[in-house]
């Protein structure tokens, strides 16, 4: 595993790779895997998934590099870095959905040679971003297949979690949120770690994500995560039917059965609207936020999808 912060669309961005680093020569590479995260978009939450996926693919003789890119502003570089993430105020266009899509386009154009075909994984809102990337012919021509995992590509506000976010979380955050994260970060680091460990124990989350969780609680990061989520509620409404139909041959959907963001009814409707769609319903009880507890089972499922293509 290799990781570093690189400049994308004017923003220092955390990239994690397995197999080949982004700045290494790809002359001997014909295909690679790029994973666009969900929200929050911190690549640290995807280390177990990315590592397991690359290992699965290598065991099959494929040896495809796996790259994970997070979202602009969701991960600050180390304090010693000379580069800083711009503040949210006055730079909203860098951190909303439009800015995040420009951010991913910049990454692909800058680091993926034209001869390399991309297996593009989109988790949650990452799947919606993939649909927007398909509008760009220069990007579309490089894509081998898109794997839409627990895809929030329609009616986010109408989902159970969408209702909770808009009616409860956002009103509370607008009053108390920034102050809460500010106060939390004034606590000594050992107390912050202890409180996160208690949360992780309650929800059976592995402790190796503690470092990433600490980054997530920084006020400058948390506000951008919430800002993007709020933009999602307003932008991700009806399914972009023409876009889906045009690129049906490139899309593979994977839906959960206990997903508060993407109810099973969304899967059923998709199958009705597009009888030829390649869509699969989970049978293993994997949660929407699969990276927290189900990274290895999900990596095994995705590796099989990739091997078929």
Taking 70 as the threshold, does the pLDDT of residue 77 lie above it?
A: yes
Task: Taking residues 269-293, report their average pLDDT.
Answer: 96
**Annotation says 288 is catalytic:** yes
Contact 148, 254 (CB under 8 A): yes
> What is the H or E stretch that residue 232 is in?
helix 219-235
203 pLDDT tier (thresholds 50, 70, 90) = confident
In the set 282, 288, 294, 303, the catalytic residue is 288
pLDDT, tens digit, for every residue of 158-169? 999 999 999 999
For residue 76, the 8-state DSSP code is P
81 is catalytic: no
Looking up tokens 């909203």 gives 92
Q: How much is the pTM?
A: 0.94
Pick the CATH number of 2-156+238-307 from 1.20.120.1200, 2.40.30.170, 3.90.920.10, 3.40.50.1820: 3.40.50.1820
Identified catalytic residue from 14, 123, 124, 231: 124
Smallest Cα–Cα separation from 224: which of 63, 42, 56? 42
User: Is it the case that residue 309 has pLDDT exceeding 90?
Assistant: no
User: Annotated catalytic, 124?
Assistant: yes
Packed helices 219-235 and 97-111: angle between N→C axes, nearest 10 degrees: 100
How far is Cα 134 from Cα 137, in angstroms, rounded to an integer?
7
> Residue 252 and residue 149: Cα distance in Å, rounded?
8
Lowest mean pLDDT among 50-54, 102-106, 173-177: 173-177
Domains of the chain: which residue ranges? Answer: 2-156+238-307, 161-230
Can you give the pLDDT at residue 290? Answer: 97
Please pick, among 75, 76, 231, 259, the residue that the annotation labels catalytic.
259
pLDDT band at 124 (very low <50, low <70, confident <90, very high): very high
């Amino acid at each position: 595993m290799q990781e570093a912060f690189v400049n994308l669309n004017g923003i220092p961005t955390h990239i994690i790779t397995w197999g080949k680093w982004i700045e290494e020569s790809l002359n001997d590479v014909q295909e690679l895997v790029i994973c666009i995260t969900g929200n929050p978009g911190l690549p640290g939450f995807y280390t177990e998934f990315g590592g397991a996926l690359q290992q699965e693919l290598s065991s099959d003789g494929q040896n495809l590099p796996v790259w994970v890119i997070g979202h602009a502003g969701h991960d600050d570089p180390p304090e010693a870095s000379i580069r800083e993430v711009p503040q949210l105020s006055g730079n909203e266009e860098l951190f909303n959905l439009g800015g995040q899509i420009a951010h991913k386009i910049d990454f692909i154009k800058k680091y993926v040679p034209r001869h390399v075909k991309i297996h593009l994984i989109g988790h949650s809102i990452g799947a919606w971003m993939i649909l927007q990337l398909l509008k760009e012919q220069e990007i579309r021509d490089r894509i081998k297949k898109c794997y839409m995992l627990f895809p929030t590509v329609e009616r986010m506000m109408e989902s159970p979690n969408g209702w909770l976010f808009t009616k409860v979380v956002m009103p509370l955050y607008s009053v108390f949120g920034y102050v809460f994260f500010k106060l939390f970060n004034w606590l000594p680091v050992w107390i912050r770690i202890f409180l996160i460990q208690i949360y992780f124990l309650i929800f059976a989350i592995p402790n190796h994500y503690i470092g990433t969780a600490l980054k997530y609680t920084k006020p400058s990061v948390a506000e951008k995560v919430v800002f993007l989520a709020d933009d999602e509620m307003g932008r991700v409404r009806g399914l972009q039917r023409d876009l889906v139909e045009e690129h049906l041959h490139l899309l593979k959907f994977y839906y959960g059965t206990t997903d508060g963001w993407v109810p099973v009814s969304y899967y059923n409707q998709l199958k009705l609207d597009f009888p030829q769609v390649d869509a699969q319903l989970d049978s293993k009880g994997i949660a929407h936020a699969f990276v927290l507890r189900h990274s290895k089972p999900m990596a095994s499922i995705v590796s099989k999808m990739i091997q078929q293509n």
